[in-house]
Copies of this chain bind each other. A is one copy, B any other.
Amino acid sequence: MENNSQNDLAIKIVFDAFKSNLKRASELLHELTDEQLSQEIAPSKNSGHYIFGHLTAIHDNMISLLGFGNSNYPELEEIFVKNRDKSGLPKTDIVDLRKYWNEIHQFLLQKLESLTPEQWFEKNTEVSEEHLEKRPHRNRLNVVLSKSTHLAYHLGQLVLLKKQLTQLK
């Protein structure tokens, strides 16, 4: 196998992992009712509502981080990233988060699908050109991988809101 196709393959592997995590998360969020999402994932821990908002904020921020434009809902960051669940700040409604979630990912996935291998290895917008030479792994591929890991981490928590104990896979 030549290097060029291995390179494409590595991108495919990472992008597929992100899409697969996203599919699992979207299906779970669809399955959970607003009432279930309002509950804490464990006593005195974060609510499903907060984690849903947190993931929506982080993924909305991927739009600017990946150089695809401005985030659509920058107000989410204050509520769901910079502050804690019990901060007292009013939370964006779950029904709105559901809408934002679909909208953000439709846009993100379309943009990501259209990237060339070269563009996957371009820096993200938070890294200067000079910095990139020292840390060449701060590129789009890395951003998508780290957000994929982040999503899996919180997916393991959101799944606790389901009624049935499911077998580990």
Contacts and interface: CB of A to CB of B under 8 A. Distances in A.
B13 A141 contact: yes
B157 A155 contact: no
Nearest to A85: B165
A26 interface: no
B42 A160 contact: yes
Interface stretch (A30-38, A65-73, A90-98, A146-154): A146-154
A1 B139 CA distance: 13
A50 to B, nearest CB: 8
A6 interface: yes
A16 B118 CA distance: 21
A92 to B, nearest CB: 16
B41 A160 contact: yes
Contact of A45 (B54, B118, B160): B160
